Amino acid sequence: MFLQELGKIEAEAFLTLASEMIEDDGIVTVEEDQLMEQYQEELNVPDFSYDAAACNAARNTLSHLDDVTKRKIYMELYSIAICDHFEDVSERMTMNALRDALGLDAHICSALETCVYDLYSVYAEIDNALQLEPSPIHVEV
């Protein structure tokens, strides 16, 4: 996670938008629930409660941060959008609205999305490698 520098108000705003992202496609997976628990723990907001009416205020709160922090927030929210291995049309619309609300460049956001996608691919490769069967050929050293 790249959001350690967020204060409590910004962390709650991020968690609000993360919750919105998770609920956008109408399906909340175990992976998404676990991810939210991880964010709450790492951001030190264990008592977070989602209020859908606070999404616009959350976007406004985060729009005042510096560009690098806003990019980190965008990247983390995109990782939530695809953590269920599917990007729903409503999630894409939410990401585009977030990009615009934060005043981010579309090209930069696209590059960040590629990085997140590549990172998930590497994680999948690691999981696969951990599950490999030993080679039937034993080499003496």
Tens of pLDDT, residue by residue over 98-118, are 999 999 999 999 999 999 989
In this model, does residue 74 exceed pLDDT 70?
A: yes
Neighbours of 78 (CB within 10 A): 23
Q: Is the predicted pLDDT of residue 140 greater than 90, yes or no? A: no
Residue 104, amino acid: L
Distance CA 97, CA 101 (A): 6
pTM of the entire predicted model: 0.84
Instruction: Give dist(CA 59, CA 14) in Å, integer.
Output: 8
Q: What pLDDT, in 10s, does the model give residues 25-52?
A: 777 888 888 889 999 999 999 999 999 8
Cβ count near 80 (within 10 Å): 23
Domain ranges in the chain are 8-130
Instruction: Considering only residues 124 and 48, tell me which one the structure prediction assigns the higher pLDDT.
Output: 48
What's the token pair of residue 130? 């951990």
| Number of neighbours of residue 84 by Cβ within 10 angstroms | 18
Q: How far apart are CA 56 and CA 64, in angstroms?
A: 13
- pLDDT exceeds 70 at position 123: yes
Considering the domain delimited by 8-130, tell me its CATH architecture: Orthogonal Bundle (1.10)
